[in-house]
Amino acid sequence: MNVQQRIEAKLGQLSPRFLQVENESHLHHVPPDSETHFKVTLVSEAFEGLMPVKRHQRIYGLLDEELAGPIHALALHLYTPREWERRHGEIPASPDCRGGGRIA
């Protein structure tokens, strides 16, 4: 199982209404086929009543092994169903990487 699949499986514990895990490693200065930079968009009732910091801490707890190893950067966009509805399902764009591109 690759890193992205492990992330998806672990975050599945939160019974997401929507889950998208994107490997953005190719946008950074890393070797081809790297699994180091990820963006997660997750909508779950599990976030009801939690401030953003607590939501992030919950994700960090679930992904502790990956964060200690292969993951270098993890962008989190975490919403309750109501918050997601207000966004009309729009996923925030990732900023450009200042180091950008692949290693030649």
Q: Could you tell me if residue 65 is inside a domain?
A: yes
What is the residue whose two structure tokens read 């990487």?
A: 97
Tens digits of residue pLDDT in 51-103: 999 999 999 999 999 999 999 899 999 999 999 999 999 998 887 766 554 44
Question: Could you tell me the pLDDT band of residue 20, with boundaries at 50, 70 and 90?
Answer: very high
Number of domains in the chain: 1
> Span 23-31, mean pLDDT?
80
- pTM score of the predicted model: 0.88
Residue 44 domain-assigned? yes
Classify 66 as helix, strand or coil: helix
- Rounded Cα distance, 74 and 31, in Å: 18
Look up the CATH number of the domain holding residue 56. 3.30.300.90
Q: Within a domain: residue 101?
A: no
